[in-house]
Amino acid sequence: MDAVAAASAWLAQDPDPVTREELQAVLEAAQEGDAAAIADLDDRFSTRLAFGTAGLRGRLGAGSNRMNRVLVAQAAAGLAAYLVEKAAPGDAPTVVVGYDGRRNSDVFARDSAEIFAGAGLRAVLLPRLLPTPVLAFAVRHLDAAAGVMVTASHNPPDDNGYKVYLGGADEGSQIVPPADAEIAAHIQRVADEGDVARLARSVGYEIAPESLVEAYVEATAAVAPAPESAADTTWVYTAMHGVGWETFARILDAAGYPRPVPVAAQLEPDGAFPTVAFPNPEEPGAMDLAFEAAREAGAEFIIANDPDADRLAVAIPDGGAEGGWRRLTGNQIGLLLGWRAARLAAAEGDVSGRSLACSLVSSPGLGAVAEHFGLDFHTTLTGFKWISRAPGLVFGFEEALGYLVNPDTVRDKDGISAAIAMLGLIAEARGRGGSVADLLAEFGDTFGWFASDQVSVRVDDLSQIGRIMAALRAQHPSEVGGIAVERVEDLAEAPEGEPSGDVLRFWLEGGSRLIVRPSGTEPKLKLYLDVRGDSADDADARAAALAAGTRALLDAL
């Protein structure tokens, strides 16, 4: 079907007047020969957003290659068919649906709940916009067969997404193969059948009781009740225009922590994200307002969540005379929280079969922590769908600001429970007269000085990434930045049972490591650098030298 015919068919079934009007204008311009409109139409209909282990995610708009009510209806109907297929005869599986503050999140969530109910499932809609971790919690709390969270996390403002969790044996984790492909096949069948207006719908879905949110608040407050040393702490919090604050504030009160100085301009949900170019705490400039608030308040530290509150960022004073602040890396936060989790596990007694886990691109320092306390250690492919499935999991993290600190409650990254754990850790240090900076120094003295960096190559043509990966496979470098390569692992050829994928791992002399992989979400090649030094300065110097050598290696390819 050509783009014009596909657009016409789409218009006939689209229930959204906004996207219908948008598409009608593009279609008419294309039919009049407008080159830009023709290209736009082709981009909208030349493919469809692929449903995979991350569910759906893309730009809002009309067309099969955009996020919209037609695509969401197809996804909901396909997921419903999958759940009915897997259910025991006569059972009505439960599906819980949550949504954040992005544009159309509430609309997509209600559409999904109506389609689930229309398919004969027990559909439960969360009572209002809430953080992603509350949805992940609800899947287990309600013993649901599946959960859907409508969110694009920290993507650009014009994006939205559809994240799927499975209950039962999956314990509320995100989907992994083969479930993703099976669900995708059902979605494609629905799409092939045509008009989504013919899908059965029902308003007979339930609204989850407030007691569900209260249960999440209670469980998360119990992660780290405030010690006396938390009193009178001055700190700053930003929700990054997301949905974290209301729930987080209730947990702070329940756990006994003092309220923070808020970044008022970013505290309430706003899908336009007016004060940031990119609503991700990792992006340059995203935390500038928090730094300003911290300087004015004389704060000890800053805590930030991303818009759906499944990630955590922490910043501390940089020690300079100018009142500067620096954001900790995801690895630094992960190592501190992993250390805390390991200590607590060891204090409980026998640690046999219990483990720490991180993605293979995250700091190897977590392995040193596990070894120190006698815990198992697992590295997984990137993504919490894999980390959450590590056997005997006590704690898991990935360097992109994701932390799983309460696996008995939420089997996904949770920026709110991670924030409570971090507040507890900081309060303990404060009780000894210490700070976050002191914790980092103590970690280095105890486990070794680890430093990380990342080099990214953005491309216009995705074939460039394949060419670079092929070149590195054909001729392994003997050294990077003057550091000898001792061995190379190609995870595309990993043995059964080991993480496998389009990943190259170079182990360098002195314990350094370079990992190369294509990004799963952007047209980028990502290179992760990890070193171990004799001190903080030495580790930083080694990381800088390895980064320079990595860039030189890429330039030579």
pLDDT tens by residue, 308-342: 999 999 999 987 656 699 999 999 999 999 999 99
Catalytic residue status for 46: no
pLDDT in the model for residue 236 = 98
pLDDT at 535 over 70: yes
pLDDT digits (tens, 9 = 90+) for 359-374: 999 999 999 999 999 9
pLDDT in the model for residue 53 = 76
Write down how long the chain is: 557
Return the DSSP state at 67: B
pLDDT digits (tens, 9 = 90+) for 452-483: 999 988 888 888 899 999 999 999 999 998 89
Helices 330-347 and 365-373 pack at an angle, to 10 degrees, of: 10
pLDDT digits (tens, 9 = 90+) for 417-451: 999 999 999 999 999 999 999 999 999 999 999 99
**Residue 495's pLDDT band (boundaries 50, 70, 90)?**
confident
pLDDT digits (tens, 9 = 90+) for 169-228: 999 999 999 999 999 999 999 999 989 999 999 999 999 999 999 999 999 999 999 999
pLDDT at 520 over 80: no
CA torsion angle 307 290 303 318 (round to 10): 140
**Residue 17's pLDDT band (boundaries 50, 70, 90)?**
very high
pLDDT digits (tens, 9 = 90+) for 87-137: 988 899 999 999 999 999 999 999 999 999 999 999 999 999 999 999 999
pLDDT in the model for residue 336 = 98
pLDDT in the model for residue 322 = 61
- Residue 485: enclosing H or E segment and its boundaries? strand 483-490
Q: Which of 64, 112, 153, 417 is catalytic?
A: 153
Q: Which of 260, 199, 244, 262 is nearest to 72 (CA)?
A: 199
Q: Please report the sign of the dihedral spanned by the C-alpha atoms of residue 84, residue 86, residue 90, residue 95.
A: negative
pLDDT in the model for residue 47 = 92
As a whole number, the mean pLDDT across the chain is 94
CB-based contacts of 323, cutoff 8 Å, min separation 6: 295, 317
**Residue 493's pLDDT band (boundaries 50, 70, 90)?**
confident
Domains of the chain: 67-208 (3.40.120.10), 209-447 (3.40.120.10), 449-556 (3.30.310.50)
**Residue 52's pLDDT band (boundaries 50, 70, 90)?**
confident
pLDDT digits (tens, 9 = 90+) for 83-98: 999 998 889 999 999 9
Rounded mean pLDDT, 492-505: 81
Rounded mean pLDDT, 396-408: 96
Q: How far apart are CA 454 and CA 450, in angstroms?
A: 14
Tell me the three state secondary structure of residue 6. Answer: helix
Q: How far apart are CA 147 and CA 125, in angstroms?
A: 10
**Residue 1's pLDDT band (boundaries 50, 70, 90)?**
low
Do 49 and 74 meet the contact criterion of CB atoms below 8 Å apart? no
Do 248 and 238 meet the contact criterion of CB atoms below 8 Å apart? no
pLDDT in the model for residue 510 = 86
Taking the whole predicted model, whether its pTM rises above 0.85 is answered as yes
